[in-house]
């Protein structure tokens, strides 16, 4: 299987195209919970599965505690994924 991956990578490099993004990324999500004088801000680390579907477009989906994609997929720019 490794040989096939190496062959595909070599083909991509020969054609001048960059390899597509596919993998798990982490981000920190800031949210506010509660209201009034009990309101507080919290930070939560979130893992997402990301897969590039076309040039500069990436589909992301949150991962649960067993690393299974859950929820609704969201399309973002490649730059947005890599900057956050």
Give me the sheet containing 22-33, strands edge to edge: 22-33, 40-54, 57-63, 69-77
Phi-psi region of 27 (alpha: psi -120 to 50; beta: other; left: phi over 0): beta
pTM listed for this prediction: 0.65
Domain boundaries, the chain: 20-83
Number of residues written out for the chain: 84
* DSSP string of 40-60, one letter each residue: EEEEEEEEEEEEEEETTEEEE
Q: Is residue 25 within a helix (H) or strand (E), and if so which, with residue range?
A: strand 22-33
- 11-64 pLDDT, tens digit per residue, is 444 455 678 899 999 988 899 999 999 999 999 899 999 999 988 899 999 999
């Amino acid at each position: 299987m490794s040989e096939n991956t190496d062959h595909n990578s070599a083909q991509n490099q020969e054609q001048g195209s960059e390899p597509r993004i596919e993998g798990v990324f982490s981000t920190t999500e800031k949210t506010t919970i509660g209201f009034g004088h009990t309101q507080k801000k919290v930070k939560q680390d979130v893992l997402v599965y990301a897969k590039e579907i076309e040039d500069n477009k990436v589909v992301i989906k949150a991962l649960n505690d067993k690393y299974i994609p859950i929820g609704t997929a969201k399309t973002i720019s490649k730059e947005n994924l890599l900057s956050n």
